[in-house]
Structure 1
Amino acid sequence: MSKDTKDRSVEDCRSIEYGSTEDVPLQTVLSPSGKVIVVGNEVDEAMEFAKHHEHIELTAKEDRRVKRKLDMIVMPLFSFLYMIQFMDKTCISFAAVMGIQADYSMAGTMYSWTTSCFYLGYLIASPLAAITLQKLPSMTTSATCIIIWGAVQCLHATAKSYSTFTLLRTLLGVLEAFVSPIFVIMMNQYYKKSEHFGYIGVLYGFNGLGTVILASISYGLYHNVTSYTMEAYKILFIIVGCLTILNGLLILFIMPNTPADAKFLTEREKLVVLERIRGNNQGFGSKKFKWHQVKECVCDIRTWLYFFIGISVAIPNGGISSFGSIILKGFGYSTEKSLLMKAPIGACELVGLAVLPFLSYFITKRMIIAVSYLLICVMSSCLLAFSSNNNVALAGYYITGIAPVGIITVTSLVASNTAGHTKKLTANAISLIGYSAGNIIGPQTFTTADAPHYNKAKAAIVGCYCAAILLMTIMSLLNARENKRRDRVQQELGDKYVVIENQEFADLTDFENAEFRYSL
C-alpha cells in the first residue's frame, strides 16, 4: 500500500463518529495490512456491556481479589469437567484388562476401534459444534450435552454386542465435540492471555487425577470381582457416567453464558472481569456467524500449524491412553497389578502440568516451556521404545504423563492468538479435527502382530513428538516476526495511528485489529 493510500485510510478511520444507533456503523479501523475495516453493529457481546457501564480503573489488589474468586468457582467446575471428560474417554483402557475384549469377542483391530470410533464421532461433529455453540447459549448447550453424555456413558453397561458398544462410543465422541470448545470460550471470558497457558495446564493436570482415581476404582472393582451381579468394568462405566451427569448439572445451574449474567459476581466484579480481558483484544463472544472470518481462518497458516501439531501430539496420546494397561501387562504385571500401576502416570501428569502456572510466572514465553516439556517426552518415549530394561522402559512410560503439554499449547494458542469469535471457533474446530484424526490413528499403530511390546508403535511416538517440536518452533518464529512488523508499522504511523473506543470488543479478527499481538 502507498503512503497516500495509507494516510487516506487513516482519515477514513477518523471520519465516522462513534454511533449508538443500530442502522449506522460504529466506527472504522485500519487493519495491520492497511485495509479499512468497518465496525458495524455485529460486535462482541462485551461491547454492549461496556457501552452501558463506565470505564473503571482496575487496581492490582482488586484484580487479585476477583481472580481468586474465579479460581474458587470457575476453575474447580471446569477442572472437574476435564477430569471426568478424560475418565469417560480412557476407562476403556481399564476395561481392556478387566475382561471386555473377551466378552465382546474382540480380535485383530476390534479393540483399537473402540477408541478410534470415539474420535471419529468427535471429528465428524466438530464443525457442527462450532456453529451450534455460536448460535445457541454456549454454556447451557454444553452443559446439556454433558448430561446426555453421562447418560450415554451409563448405557455402556447395557450393550449386548460389539456393534452396539462401538455405536455408544461413537455417540460419546459426537457429544464431546460440543463440550471441548467451551474451555476456549471460558478462558477468554474470564482470564487474561498471559494466564491461558498455565490455567489450561491445570485443567489437563486434572486428567492425571482422573487416571489415579480410575486406577484406584478399577483395582478395587477387579479385586472384588466375584461380589457383583455384573461385570466389574460395567460398574466402572456407570460410576463415571453418574459423575459426568453431576458435573453437567453443576455447570448448568452455576455457570452463566457470559460473565455479564454471572450470579456469583457483583456488578463491580463484572466490570473488573471486563477490564481483566481488555488486553486479550477479544470479548465474551458474538452470536453472528461471519463467513469472512471462516475464510480468513482457513487461509491463516497458524490454523494449519494448530492442525498438524494436534495430529502430532494426538497419535501418541491415542495409542498410550488406549493401550497403557496392555503395555503394563507386557512388562509382566498381572491384570490386577497393571490396573494399579497406571496410577503413577496420572500422578506424573497431575504434578507436571499443575505447575505450569508457576512456571509461566517466571518464564513468560509459553513455547519455551512447551518445547522443553516435549524434549523430555522425546527422551522418555525413547526409553519406552528402545530400552531392554523393563524398569527403565516403565520410567519412560510414566514420564510421558506430561505429554498433554502439546495439546495444552494448541488450546492456549487458539484461545490467545485467534481473535474474532467465528474465527476462534473455526480454528478450534480444525485443531480438534486434527487432534481427533491423530487419536484415531494412534491406536491403529498398535497392531496385533507387534504385541506384546509394540515396538513400532513406540518408535512412532518418538517421531511424533519430534515433529511437534519442529512445528512449534516454526509457530514461534512466525508470531515473533509478525509482532515486530506491527510494532514497526505503528511507530511509522505515529499520531495517525487510531484506536476507537472499546475496539477490543468489536469482534475483530487478529488480522483486522492492529492492536492485537500474538502471544509467544
Structure 2
Amino acid sequence: MAGIIDKKPSTSTSQSTEGHALEAMSSVACGTVIPETVDSGLEKQALRKFDMFLLPQLAFLTILAYLDRTNIGNAKVFGLAEGLKLKGNDFNNLVTFFYITYIICDVLWVISIQRFGANRVLAIAMVGWSAATLGTGFTHSYGQALACRLILGAFESGLLPCMIFIISTVWNRSQQAKRVAVIYCATTISGAFGGLIAYGIQTMGTRLGLEAWRWLFIIEGCISMTAGCIFFFTIPTSAEKAWFLSDEQAKCMRAKKERDALFKGQSKLEPKHVWAALKDPLVYLTGFSLFASSLPLLGFGTFLPAIILGFGYRSIQANYMTIPIYILATISVAIVSFMSDRMKKRAIFLFVLPIPVLIGYSIAIGTANNALGYFAMFLCGIGIFPFNCIMLAWFSSNVSPDPKRSVGLPIAASIANVSGVLSGQIYPLRTAPRYISGNAVSLGLEAVALIGVGLIVLMLKWRMAKKNKMMQEGKGGDMEGDAALDFKYAF
C-alpha cells in the first residue's frame, strides 16, 4: 500500500484494518516500526465522542448551508421575482450562476483542509456564504442578486466534499455510510425547516419597510453568521487534536492515524496522488453517475415549492406542503444508510433507489391530478436523497490513500456540480404550471444514474479479476493504494 516501500502487508493483514486485529501484531510490520498499538476500548470511546461532538456540528452546518442555498425557491413563491422585477429566465439564472463559482472553487477548498485545518476552512466558508445570504435580503436589482449568488457559490462550494473527507479520516470504511447519511439527513431536514421557516416568515408580512421575502434571507443569514463564528472554535483542526478528547484518547487517535497510514498511506499530498486520481476511471464514472442523479436532486430542492404550486395548490400552501415530503425523505436516508452499513453493501441499494424516482416523475408527467402529483413528489424524495449519500460513501471506501481521495472526491463532486448549472434551467417559467419538460429531464437522468452504477460494478469486478490473476502470477507487488493487490473493493 502507499507509504510502504518495496513491501506490503499480506491480504489477511490488510483486511484486519477494518477491525482491531492489528493490536495483536508485533511492533514490526512490513519493515515499518509501529510506535504503539491502538487500544480498542479507547478508540471506541474516542469515536463515540466524535459522534457526540463533531457529527451534530457538521449536521447543523449542513442544515444552515442548504437553507441558505435553496431559500431562493421559497422566496420566489412569496414575492422575490416581483420585488426584484425579474423577467423571463432571470430567476433561473439566479439558480444557475450559483453553481459557476461553486464548481470553480470546489477543489481549492477541499485541498486547503489538509493545510489549514477543518475548523478554519469551514468557519471562514460559512461566514462568507452567510454574508452573501444576508446581502441578498437588501438587493434591489437582478444584478445585485446575481452577485450575491456568485459569492454564495464560491464560499459554499467545498462544504460537502470537505465534510465527507473529514469523516473518511476519522472512521473506517464500514463505519462511514451512516456518518455520511447524517449529512444527507441534514439536507432533507433543512428542506423541512426551510418550508416551515418560509411559511412563518410569509405570514408575518412586511416589517420595518422590508418585504417578507427579504426577511427570509436576513434572518437565515444572521443565524448562519453566528454559527460560523462559533464553529471556528468548536470544530477540531484534526482527528488527533480534537478539544473534546482526553489526553489518552488523543494519544490513541494519533496511534490510530499511524496504524492506518500503513494501509491508507501518509497524509501528505504529493504529485503522484494527484496523477493517480486524475487517471482513475472510477473518479469519472462516479462523477458521471453523481451528475445524473444530482440534477433531479438539485432541481427538486430548489423548485419543489413551484412544482407543488403547479399542481393547483395556493402559494400559502406550497411552502408548508414541502415539509412532510422532506420528513419522509429524511427517514428514507436514515433507513437506507443504516441497512447499507449493516449489510456492508452499497451497489444493491443504488440499483433499487432510482425505481421510486422513475415512478414518481412518470406520475407527475402523466397526470394533472393534484393529489397524484403531490403523492409523486413523495416517491421522488424517497429515492433522490439517499442515492448520492450511498454513492459518495461507496466511492470514498474504494479510493486509497487519503491524499488521492482528497483530490478524487472533489473532482467527482465538481463533475456532479455541473448539473447545478442545468438544474436552474430545466424548470423555465414558460413551462409552468406543470413543468413537464423539467420532470421529464429528471426522469431520464435518473435512469442514466442507474446505468452508471452498473458500469461501476462491472469495472470494479474487472479490477478484482485482474488483481487475482496478477496475484497468481506473482506480479504487482509494488503497487500502492487501492491498486495494491490486497485492497478489496467494496460492493
Asked if Structure 1 and Structure 2 have the same fold, meaning a TM-score greater than 0.5 normalized by the shorter chain, the answer is: yes
Contact 1:414/1:427 (8 A) holds in 2: no
* Partner residue of 1:474 out of 455, 462, 467: 455
Q: Tell me, yes or no, if structure 1 residue 28 matches structure 2 residue 9.
A: no
Aligned to 1:408: 389
Aligned to 2:70: 90
Q: Tell me, yes or no, if structure 1 residue 377 matches structure 2 residue 348.
A: no
Equivalenced residues, count:
468
Mapped to 2, the partners of 1:213 and 1:365 lie a distance apart of 31
Letter in 1 for 2:482: D
Aligned to 1:338: 318
Ranges of 4+ aligned residues in structure 1 off by more than 6 Å = 279-282, 496-499
Aligned to 1:58: 40
Letter in 2 for 1:431: A
Partner secondary structure for residue 257 of structure 1: coil
- CA positional deviation for 1:343: 0.7
Partner secondary structure for residue 510 of structure 1: helix
Aligned to 1:388: 368
**Aligned Cα RMSD in Å?**
2.9
Mapped to 2, the partners of 1:268 and 1:192 lie a distance apart of 20
Aligned to 1:426: 407
* Partner residue of 1:463 out of 444, 462, 473: 444
Aligned to 2:28: none
Letter in 2 for 1:516: F
Q: Tell me, yes or no, if structure 1 residue 519 matches structure 2 residue 490.
A: yes
- CA positional deviation for 1:220: 1.2
- CA positional deviation for 1:275: 6.9
Aligned to 1:314: 294
- CA positional deviation for 1:327: 0.9
* Partner residue of 2:482 out of 498, 502, 510: 510
Letter in 1 for 2:93: W
Worse-matched range after superposition: 92-101 or 321-330: 321-330
Where does structure 2 lack aligned partners over 5 or more consecutive residues?
Answer: 11-31
Aligned to 1:447: 428
- CA positional deviation for 1:491: 6.2
Mapped to 2, the partners of 1:143 and 1:515 lie a distance apart of 39
* Partner residue of 2:106 out of 126, 151, 167: 126
Partner secondary structure for residue 452 of structure 1: coil
Partner secondary structure for residue 248 of structure 1: helix
Contact 2:6/2:478 (8 A) holds in 1: no
Where does structure 1 lack aligned partners over 5 or more consecutive residues?
Answer: 1-12, 14-24, 33-49, 500-507
Mapped to 2, the partners of 1:204 and 1:377 lie a distance apart of 17
Aligned to 2:243: 263
Mapped to 2, the partners of 1:440 and 1:301 lie a distance apart of 24
Mapped to 2, the partners of 1:285 and 1:414 lie a distance apart of 19
Letter in 2 for 1:409: I
Aligned to 2:123: 143
TM-score calculated relative to the size of structure 1: 0.82
* Partner residue of 1:152 out of 108, 128, 132: 132
Contact 1:280/1:416 (8 A) holds in 2: no
Mapped to 2, the partners of 1:292 and 1:497 lie a distance apart of 18
Mapped to 2, the partners of 1:218 and 1:87 lie a distance apart of 10
Mapped to 2, the partners of 1:90 and 1:281 lie a distance apart of 42
Aligned to 1:170: 150
Aligned to 1:39: none
Partner secondary structure for residue 107 of structure 1: coil
- CA positional deviation for 1:57: 4.6
Worse-matched range after superposition: 200-209 or 361-370: 361-370
- CA positional deviation for 1:258: 1.5
Mapped to 2, the partners of 1:282 and 1:400 lie a distance apart of 39
Letter in 2 for 1:28: D
- CA positional deviation for 1:342: 1.1
Mapped to 2, the partners of 1:87 and 1:215 lie a distance apart of 9
TM-score calculated relative to the size of structure 2: 0.87
Relative to structure 1, is the Cα distance of residues 379 and 274 closer, same or farther in structure 2, using a 3 angstrom cutoff? farther
Contact 2:346/2:391 (8 A) holds in 1: no
Relative to structure 1, is the Cα distance of residues 389 and 352 closer, same or farther in structure 2, using a 3 angstrom cutoff? same
Aligned to 1:81: 61
Mapped to 2, the partners of 1:389 and 1:332 lie a distance apart of 9
Q: Tell me, yes or no, if structure 1 residue 234 matches structure 2 residue 243.
A: no
Contact 1:258/1:284 (8 A) holds in 2: no
Relative to structure 1, is the Cα distance of residues 154 and 227 closer, same or farther in structure 2, using a 3 angstrom cutoff? closer
Contact 2:118/2:166 (8 A) holds in 1: no
- CA positional deviation for 1:64: 4.5
Partner secondary structure for residue 87 of structure 2: coil
Aligned to 1:253: 233
Mapped to 1, the partners of 2:45 and 2:403 lie a distance apart of 32
Q: Tell me, yes or no, if structure 1 residue 197 matches structure 2 residue 177.
A: yes
Contact 2:307/2:433 (8 A) holds in 1: yes
Mapped to 2, the partners of 1:105 and 1:254 lie a distance apart of 42
Relative to structure 1, is the Cα distance of residues 421 and 104 closer, same or farther in structure 2, using a 3 angstrom cutoff? same
Contact 2:311/2:368 (8 A) holds in 1: no
Letter in 2 for 1:519: A
Mapped to 2, the partners of 1:51 and 1:266 lie a distance apart of 25
Contact 1:134/1:422 (8 A) holds in 2: no
Mapped to 1, the partners of 2:255 and 2:487 lie a distance apart of 16
- CA positional deviation for 1:481: 3.5
Mapped to 2, the partners of 1:262 and 1:284 lie a distance apart of 22
* Partner residue of 2:81 out of 94, 101, 111: 101
Relative to structure 1, is the Cα distance of residues 491 and 303 closer, same or farther in structure 2, using a 3 angstrom cutoff? same
Give the 5 Å matches for 1:293-372: 293-372=273-352
Give the 5 Å matches for 1:260-299: 260-270=240-250, 272-273=252-253, 286-288=267-269, 290-299=270-279
- CA positional deviation for 1:350: 1.3
Give the 5 Å matches for 1:63-74: 64-74=44-54
* Partner residue of 1:417 out of 369, 379, 398: 398
Mapped to 1, the partners of 2:107 and 2:208 lie a distance apart of 42
Contact 1:313/1:404 (8 A) holds in 2: no
- CA positional deviation for 1:431: 1.7
Relative to structure 1, is the Cα distance of residues 109 and 146 closer, same or farther in structure 2, using a 3 angstrom cutoff? same
Mapped to 1, the partners of 2:429 and 2:291 lie a distance apart of 23
Mapped to 2, the partners of 1:242 and 1:491 lie a distance apart of 62
Contact 2:93/2:424 (8 A) holds in 1: yes
Mapped to 2, the partners of 1:119 and 1:151 lie a distance apart of 17
Relative to structure 1, is the Cα distance of residues 26 and 349 closer, same or farther in structure 2, using a 3 angstrom cutoff? closer
Relative to structure 1, is the Cα distance of residues 239 and 143 closer, same or farther in structure 2, using a 3 angstrom cutoff? same
- CA positional deviation for 1:169: 0.6
- CA positional deviation for 1:469: 0.8
- CA positional deviation for 1:413: 3.0
User: Alignment identity in percent?
Assistant: 21
- CA positional deviation for 1:320: 1.9
